[in-house]
Amino acid sequence: MIPINDLLLFGFAALIMVISPGPNMIYLISRSLSQGKKAGIISLLGVMCGFLFHILMVSFGLTAIFFAVPYIFVVVKFLGVGYLLYLAYNSVKSKNKISDSDQNLKSDKPFKLFNIGLLTNVLNPKMAVFYLSFFPQFIKPEYGSILSQSFQLGIIQIIISFSINFLIVISAARIATWFSKKPIWLRIQKWFMASVLTGLAVKMALAKAK
């Protein structure tokens, strides 16, 4: 069992991490602004499952392969880049008309929203590298099972990340309600989403394994 003082310190570090603007925050804000609260929350659940995926990878030692075989990092990175650019293309290609604004604001089905949030996180190899370098600072053999400690830290990180991002989604969704009443917003929302996704793809493409 990790001492409470170490858990509090980890929780504080996790809080600093989640409030720092990053790809996940930017994506959730843009999704909430363009499609509302429900879409933002479903996307958030996908992102959280992406965190769970990385935590499981770290807990079982699988992400060490990024350091052992650098080419795998590159392959995963460009899979993520390609996926984000594909989403950006589809966003621009979609036909958004003022006359059916309500339909367009809710055009993406829950399954697609969840998958985008999940894959955007899973296909970001920097997350795996982060966990693999961050967790060991708080895990010590004398505290018991390494696997159990990893899950402890993972659960804390997910709870904090979900809480903060949920507040962000709700706040962005309220702004979206105002935007949805402005016809000009319906014309630019698809370009807004495409720009965000393209920006995330560029950021991911420039990422380097440490």
CA distances from 182 to 36, 94, 108, 186 (A): 14, 19, 20, 7
Mean pLDDT, the chain, integer? 77
Residue 176: predicted pLDDT: 67
pLDDT value at 97 more than 70: no
CA distances from 110 to 90, 136, 182 (A): 17, 36, 25
Q: With 0.85 as the threshold, say if the pTM is over it.
A: no
pLDDT value at 84 more than 60: yes
Q: Which residue has the higher pLDDT, 64 or 95?
A: 64
pLDDT value at 153 more than 70: yes
For helices 125-134 and 37-59, angle between their N-to-C axes, nearest 10 degrees: 50
What is the C-alpha separation between 57 and 20, in angstroms, rounded? 23
| Mean pLDDT, range 26-36, rounded to an integer | 82
DSSP string, 45-77: HHHHHHHHHHHHHHHTTGGGHHHH-HHHHHHHH
Could you tell me the pLDDT band of residue 160, with boundaries at 50, 70 and 90?
Answer: very high
Residue 114: predicted pLDDT: 93
What is the C-alpha separation between 75 and 104, in angstroms, rounded? 34
Residue whose C-alpha is closest to residue 88's, from 207, 204, 210, 209: 204
Which H/E stretch holds residue 15?
helix 4-19
Alpha carbon 31 to its chain's center: 11
